[in-house]
Amino acid sequence: MVAIIQYNAGNIRSVMNALNRFGVECILTDSPEKIRCADKVIFPGVGEASSAMAYLRERQLDRLIQSLKQPFLGICLGLQLMCSHSEEGDTQGLGIFKEKVKRFPPADKVPHIGWNNFKEIKKTEGNLFNGLNLESDMYFVHSYFAECGSETIATTEYILPFSAALKKENFYAVQFHPEKSASAGQQLLKNFLSL
């Protein structure tokens, strides 16, 4: 069973719908007990970092997330909240990843909306990118990005290079929306479900 974390963020239902297409049993919940007992956990979302973190802290989901041992996937805002700090609302993140989240410089159109592919994909244990390559297009919608660092496993470029995906132990995170990324996104979700 897959638990999808319910918190103060939008776009969570589309992830449920994507998993339902695989015939995967999933629940949308903010219950620590149900999240702890799940085989896998997905932390998706679109929204604003500081109010989302406030919701997690109020329900002590921040500490719970940090302690989880099963495969865990953050998506979009989920990735940003898993980092150490976000410039959006000067927000302390969960600190799972060391990378910091910054706002794109106003040199081009912000937010970054639309299809983009990868500049680099690192092969890792339990590879989230099996069957995907640099030309695999994913759908992005974001004004903030995680810097590239030691936990970056894929990069994309928009104005500047940024982390398209991060990994540390059982924690994975992607900046793009696999649930909206057609066959490439389905492949990535399938890879996560098979971890």
Q: Which of 83, 112, 151, 177 is catalytic?
A: 177
* 148 catalytic per annotation: no
- Note down pLDDT in tens along the chain; length 195 residues: 999 999 978 878 899 999 999 999 999 999 999 999 999 999 998 999 999 999 999 999 999 999 999 999 999 999 999 999 999 999 999 999 999 999 999 867 899 999 999 999 998 878 899 999 999 999 999 999 999 999 999 999 999 999 999 999 999 999 999 999 999 999 999 999 999
φ, ψ of residue 95 in degrees (nearest 5): 75, 20
pTM above 0.95, yes or no: yes
* 179 catalytic per annotation: yes
Contact 94, 65 (CB under 8 A): yes
Q: Which of 26, 76, 83, 148 is catalytic?
A: 76
CB atoms within 10 A of CB 133: 10
* 177 catalytic per annotation: yes
Per-domain boundaries in the chain: 2-193
Q: Which CATH architecture has domain 2-193?
A: 3-Layer(aba) Sandwich (3.40)
